Amino acid sequence: MRRIEIAGGGLAGLSLGIALRRRGVPVLIREASVYPRHRVCGEFINGVTEETLEVLGIWPLFDDALRHRATRWWMGERLILEAELTRPALGMSRWEMDERLREKFENTGGELRTNDRAICEAKEGLVWTAGRMLQKKSELLGLKAHFEGVELEGFLEMHIGEGSYLGLTPITADGSRVNVCGLFRKGARTKGVNPIIDALQRSGLDGLAARLEKGRMDQKSLTGISGIQLGEQSVKDDLCTLGDAERMIPPFTGNGMSMAFESAECALQPLIDYAEGGEDWTGTQERIREALDLRFQKRVNLALMLHRCLTIRAGRVTLSAAARSGVLPFAWLHRRLS
């Protein structure tokens, strides 16, 4: 049986590795970093189905995940929407999730090399799941940290500011610990101020900044990323990519992790056929690309359009008016974006 090499041990890479191992395929994962660790992420999964997680063999890892059922959206200081999700979103910290997947992969006989940065070059049998491609000119900045002492009343909160948005998600069943994660526009930092509070103030979200200042931030959980490029990623044509490395949905959807798992599901059968010798590498890549386009193209295009609306003033005014007057088709959008 041919071996599959996976570059990047995040959600797409580990879930694919587990699924391939369950079918007896030899798998090596090369991961640039170590486990466990905090990741910039809103830490709720919108959209993924039990069937997808079953196919990948990882559904039991989510047995005790939180189930988020409702959301509140603010535009600046104003509450504009309170709605039920059309399907509960799963909640778990990335510290926990990535570590559970790592353990499962190794327990199924997968070979994992940490602190091992792969070179981005196309080669037969290599699947690139190393996350988004770095876009040096990007003005987007992602920040996240865990807080205690911030009350959410069981809701997922989304706050929209000027050119930014930020989500608050309970990550413990009693709501005592909350993940705070946002996408901001880069700007001059105020020295000595917590970077999340600083970014909120620059976005005109002073009320939320004051609320978080009353809580306690877990300093070790504070993480940031820049160079974020949304939508299709500019990768080498002949590279077999999955997850964020293939295309990145705007984070407000909470659907990126689902897409990482779904992309592993799309690639699974073509890769098994390749490993068993029933398909060549070029044909395998074509089948994977077609499956990914079919599954994600419309979803990501709609999300990119809404992301633009959320980050320009005219778009925000229109969305806010539609939400407040009750004509925003939230349930329809939620289904389409997950």
Ligand X SMILES: Cc1cc2nc3c(=O)[nH]c(=O)nc-3n(C[C@H](O)[C@H](O)[C@H](O)COP(=O)(O)OP(=O)(O)OC[C@H]3O[C@@H](n4cnc5c(N)ncnc54)[C@H](O)[C@@H]3O)c2cc1C
Is 163 an interacting residue with respect to ligand X (CB under 6 A)?
no
Q: Are 136 and 222 in contact (CB under 8 A)?
A: no
Is 45 an interacting residue with respect to ligand X (CB under 6 A)?
yes
- Under 8 Å CB-to-CB from 178, ≥6 apart: which residues? 146, 147, 148, 150, 152, 168, 169, 170, 171, 215
Cα–Cα distance between 19 and 55 in angstroms, integer? Answer: 7
Nearest Cα to Cα of residue 86 among 65, 66, 64, 71: 71
Cα–Cα distance between 114 and 28 in angstroms, integer? Answer: 11
Minimum distance from residue 270 beta carbon to ligand X (Å)? 18
Query: Given strand 240-241, what is the order of strands in its sheet?
Result: 111-113, 27-30, 4-7, 126-128, 240-241
Minimum distance from residue 327 beta carbon to ligand X (Å)? 26
Among residues 21, 30, 104, 334, the one that binds ligand X under rule CB under 6 A: 30
Stretch in the footprint of ligand X (CB under 6 A) among 73-81, 240-248, 286-294, 303-311: 240-248
Site track for ligand X across 255-294, x = CB under 6 A: xxxx-x----------------------------------
Structure tokens given for 159: 């706050």
Stretch in the footprint of ligand X (CB under 6 A) among 1-9, 212-220, 298-306, 321-329: 1-9
- Under 8 Å CB-to-CB from 280, ≥6 apart: which residues? 274
The pair phi, psi for residue 129, each rounded to 5°, is -125, 40
Among residues 110, 161, 251, 270, the one that binds ligand X under rule CB under 6 A: 251
Q: Are 130 and 248 in contact (CB under 8 A)?
A: no
Pairing, β 126-128 against β 240-241? parallel
Is 239 an interacting residue with respect to ligand X (CB under 6 A)?
no
Is 12 an interacting residue with respect to ligand X (CB under 6 A)?
yes
Is 78 an interacting residue with respect to ligand X (CB under 6 A)?
no
Minimum distance from residue 184 beta carbon to ligand X (Å)? 9
Site track for ligand X across 215-234, x = CB under 6 A: -------------x------
Please give the full DSSP string across 163-203, using - where no structure is assigned. Answer: TEEEEEEE-STTS-EEEEEEEEE--PPPTTS-HHHHHHHHT
Is 31 an interacting residue with respect to ligand X (CB under 6 A)?
yes
Site track for ligand X across 106-135, x = CB under 6 A: -----------xx----------xxx----
Please give the full DSSP string across 276-292, using - where no structure is assigned. Answer: TTSS-HHHHHHHHHHHH
Is 161 an interacting residue with respect to ligand X (CB under 6 A)?
no
Q: Give the total of residues touching ligand X (CB under 6 A).
A: 36
The smaller minimum CB distance to ligand X, of residues 33 and 324, is found at: 33
Is 181 an interacting residue with respect to ligand X (CB under 6 A)?
yes
**Which residue ranges make up the site for ligand X (CB under 6 A)?**
7-13, 30-33, 40-45, 117-118, 129-131, 142, 181, 183, 228, 243-245, 251, 254-258, 260
